[in-house]
């Protein structure tokens, strides 16, 4: 049942991932006693900040990246279960700068979200959406590369930490090239296929989209996630999202399987059944 987590553990073992805890304390100010220590992330085997662990967001970004009130969902049969909770946005300035015709397309997505949202069809979440869907994911870190394993749809992506490579073809999770800027992991994502949405509200980009992510460990149990999104075919300027991501601390925290294809078959193919 736990193939996804076993796979990530195998990769971790193969790459020789070891984490070493390092603590530090800021020098004392003269005559004032010890100063509060600035947080220093534990070190991984390569000496960089250790991001290993199982993580999950706790916000409503997967429903809507922007500020939104509670409202009825598209499946009224579910009553309050299918409703959308109110939430504060994660978009800087709370504005997504669509080109006029693309804003109309976004609105059409929203009207048809019950059947058109790629999440409903069990398609991979893409980037950045996979990071704030309501499912945990695991980061497995090594000097050669960093693996992200997502519970939703058993998807994953590998971040190349060596010489940058160009995207050979467009995919759901893109081509990921990483580097360190201090303790921040910066991931340059290209080669996305433009089929994923950013949320259930229908926000989207084209296959021209370019995403730059920053992952910073701010304390033992939190990451700061930031993503700058640029797509001249869809937006008038680049825009940014940011949010905290929380470490799962349960004793038996792990990634389970959520192979959702079978749950989407009726939605995708039910209309072809013989009556």
Domain count, the chain: 1
Query: Could you tell me if residue 63 is inside a domain?
Result: no
- The residues, any chain, with a CB within 8 Å of residue 247's CB and separated by 6 or more, are 53, 54, 55, 220, 221, 222, 223
CA distance 162 to 148: 16
Query: Could you tell me if residue 241 is inside a domain?
Result: yes
Q: Is the overall model pTM greater than 0.75, yes or no? A: yes
Query: Could you tell me if residue 221 is inside a domain?
Result: yes
**What was the pLDDT predicted at 4?**
45
Q: Average pLDDT of 4-29? A: 41
**Strands 53-56, 239-247: pairing kind:** antiparallel
Q: Domain residues for 235? A: 3-19+39-55+92-272
Give the tens place of pLDDT for each residue, 156-210.
999 999 999 999 999 999 999 999 999 999 999 999 999 999 999 999 999 999 9
Give the tens place of pLDDT for each residue, 134-153.
999 999 999 889 999 999 99
**Strands 145-150, 137-141: pairing kind:** antiparallel
Query: Could you tell me if residue 87 is inside a domain?
Result: no
Reference 189, options 169, 167, 205; nearest CA is: 167
Give the tens place of pLDDT for each residue, 69-121.
999 988 878 899 999 999 999 999 999 999 999 999 999 999 999 999 999 99
3-state class of 128 per DSSP?
coil
Give the tens place of pLDDT for each residue, 222-250.
999 999 999 999 999 999 999 999 999 99
In the predicted model, is pLDDT for residue 20 greater than 90? Answer: no
Cβ 9 vs Cβ 255: under 8 Å: no
Query: Could you tell me if residue 210 is inside a domain?
Result: yes
Query: Could you tell me if residue 265 is inside a domain?
Result: yes
Query: Could you tell me if residue 65 is inside a domain?
Result: no
Residue 153: which CATH number? Answer: 2.40.128.20
CA distance 199 to 131: 11
Query: Could you tell me if residue 80 is inside a domain?
Result: no
């Amino acid at each position: 049942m736990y193939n996804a987590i076993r796979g990530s553990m195998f990769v971790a073992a193969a790459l020789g991932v070891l984490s070493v805890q390092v603590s530090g304390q800021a020098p004392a100010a003269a005559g004032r006693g010890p100063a509060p220590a600035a947080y220093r992330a534990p070190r991984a085997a390569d000496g960089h900040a250790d991001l290993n662990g199982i993580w999950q967001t706790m916000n409503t970004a997967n429903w809507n990246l922007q500020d939104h009130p509670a409202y009825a969902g598209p499946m009224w049969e579910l009553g309050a279960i299918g409703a959308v909770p109110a939430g504060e946005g994660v978009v800087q300035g709370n504005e997504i700068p669509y080109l006029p015709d693309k804003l109309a397309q976004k609105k059409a997505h929203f009207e048809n979200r019950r059947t058109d949202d790629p999440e409903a069809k069990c398609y991979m979440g893409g980037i950045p959406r996979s990071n704030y869907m309501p499912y945990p994911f695991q980061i497995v870190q090594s000097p050669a590369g960093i693996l992200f394993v997502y519970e939703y749809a058993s998807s994953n992506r590998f971040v190349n930490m060596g010489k940058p490579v160009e995207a050979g073809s467009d995919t759901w999770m893109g081509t990921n090239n990483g580097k360190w800027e201090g303790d921040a992991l910066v991931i340059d994502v290209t080669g996305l296929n433009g089929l994923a949405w950013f949320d259930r509200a229908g926000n989207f980009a084209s296959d021209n989209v370019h995403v730059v992510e920053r992952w910073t460990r701010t304390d033992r149990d939190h990451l700061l996630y930031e993503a700058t999104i640029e797509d001249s075919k869809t937006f008038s300027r680049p825009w940014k999202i940011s949010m905290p991501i929380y470490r799962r601390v349960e004793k038996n925290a792990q990634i389970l399987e959520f192979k959702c294809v079978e749950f989407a078959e009726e939605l995708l193919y039910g209309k072809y059944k013989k009556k």
